[in-house]
Amino acid sequence: MKIAILGGGISGTAVARMLARDGHDAVVLERSERAGGLCQSSRFGEFTFDNAGGHILFSKNKEVLDWQLDRCGGEAGTVRTERNTKIRWHDRWVPYPFENGVGHLTKAAIVECLAGYVEAFADRRAGAECPPNFHDWVDWRMGAGFAKHFMIPYNEKIWECDLHRLSSGWVAGRVPEAPIEDILKSAIGFDTDGYTHQSVFWFPRHGGFETLVKGTIAGGGFDLQTGVSIDSVERRDSQFAVNGELFDLVINTVPLPRIESAIADIPAEIRADIRALKPISLVNLMIGVRLDEPLPDLSWVYLPFPEQGPVNRVTYYSNYSPENAPPGHGSFLAEVTHRGDLAPDGAWARSVVERLGNAGILVPEHVVLLEWCDNEFAYIDQDLEFQDRIDRVRGWFDTSGYITFGRFGRYEYHNSDQCIARAMEVREHVRTIAASGEPARPTFS
């Protein structure tokens, strides 16, 4: 089949590679001058940075992890790291996850966290139901102490809103529950590991995270067209016309609000739903520093408190690969979310660096490079109406002959590995269509 793939991020390029392997004529149409989307990296002098915050290669799915590592040159092309993440809790460094680091807090905070946790645990045992909004979910699941000392301030920073207006649905399955024994042990000074998810991760040795996309394109066997604005997508009998050119199938990975106006046959009520899908944006500060001594052996650090400035997470980026910064230097990525109301400039960036200095992350006088990248689509605003809205949107696409997937092509809170897993599902779906000749409804696990 001749297949148009809209968007050249990891979702679009991965599915194009897989479909080309199956013998299809796959054409990726990408609006930017370079493929990569959220996986793009930038080079400034001898520094390399990722554009959309700290990215790591990791998957629970072995087939997907192997696929990712193969695209990045295997073990030789990647650096393997044991994750070491901390929370900057006032003047302390508390191991992450917070429940397992509770013993590192002040005695008063330990008591508040434990008392709240036991109370919440007892309430749940007595049948307290999972609340629909995220703020109350935090209390229900973690208790008032953990809520006050980390969960609420951190999440208010990253989601940039009152947490009562967010749904609790998105955390299901994402936040593993620490056994109560671990929390008690940690409180009296025993180290517990917490969740072992991502305890080891990989990163491309050269070129930043974008190497994953470059390795997907190289030898991929598909046609990548960049700098293409997609103005019209419409049905012509059993085919689709994209900017007037005929294709047998259209696979969308472009953020839905950016493609909706081009797709002619979307009904008005679905259009309204798509327009209500607001993203949360991310300014990613790229900071190069001169070093008198090596950076601490940290992967990333969470900054939950307003007095630490607007950054919610700092990645110790030169620890991911020695090639990310020149000798004698180190680098950080600092992530600041916003809802379209931040216009970063030099003065703002320097003020953020000052706050990072006050928080003990870096020495502002040692900064030799300061750049930033504003990413409009970074996180999904999972408000209380989100699930119903996105169910209607996905339902329309899935029954109308289009395939849509990707972080914002389907509005799934997915990392690149899950996008690749979805691409594998789409490949299977296209195999079904190719075998039967029927435009079957896609099934996603």
Ligand X SMILES: Cc1cc2nc3c(=O)[nH]c(=O)nc-3n(C[C@H](O)[C@H](O)[C@H](O)COP(=O)(O)OP(=O)(O)OC[C@H]3O[C@@H](n4cnc5c(N)ncnc54)[C@H](O)[C@@H]3O)c2cc1C
**Which stretches of the chain bind ligand X, using CB under 6 A?**
6-12, 29-32, 37-39, 52-53, 55-56, 230, 253-255, 258-259, 282, 335, 377-378, 406-409, 414-417, 419
DSSP, collapsed to helix, strand or coil, labels residue 362 as: coil
Question: Taking the complex as a whole, how short is the minimal distance between the CB of residue 42 and ligand X, in angstroms?
Answer: 14
Bridge partner list, 338: 281
Question: Taking the complex as a whole, how short is the minimal distance between the CB of residue 1 and ligand X, in angstroms?
Answer: 20
Question: Taking the complex as a whole, how short is the minimal distance between the CB of residue 283 and ligand X, in angstroms?
Answer: 11
Question: Taking the complex as a whole, how short is the minimal distance between the CB of residue 312 and ligand X, in angstroms?
Answer: 9
Cα–Cα nearest to 285, from 361, 327, 346 = 346
Structure token pair of residue 283: 């300014």
CA distance 423 to 410: 12
For the chain, how big is the Rg over CA atoms in Å?
23
For residues 89 and 408, which CB has a smaller minimum distance to ligand X in the complex? 408
CA distance 293 to 283: 28
Provide the edge-to-edge strand list for the sheet that holds 300-302: 92-95, 85-89, 300-302, 313-315, 329-338, 279-290, 367-380
For residues 230 and 361, which CB has a smaller minimum distance to ligand X in the complex? 230
For residues 14 and 113, which CB has a smaller minimum distance to ligand X in the complex? 14
For residues 74 and 227, which CB has a smaller minimum distance to ligand X in the complex? 227
Using an 8 Å Cβ cutoff, are 304 and 150 in contact?
yes
Question: Taking the complex as a whole, how short is the minimal distance between the CB of residue 29 and ligand X, in angstroms?
Answer: 6
For residues 114 and 230, which CB has a smaller minimum distance to ligand X in the complex? 230
Cα–Cα nearest to 123, from 110, 104, 142, 108 = 142
Question: Taking the complex as a whole, how short is the minimal distance between the CB of residue 419 and ligand X, in angstroms?
Answer: 5
For residues 117 and 240, which CB has a smaller minimum distance to ligand X in the complex? 240
Binning the chain into helix, strand and coil, the percentages to the nearest 5 are 40, 25, 35
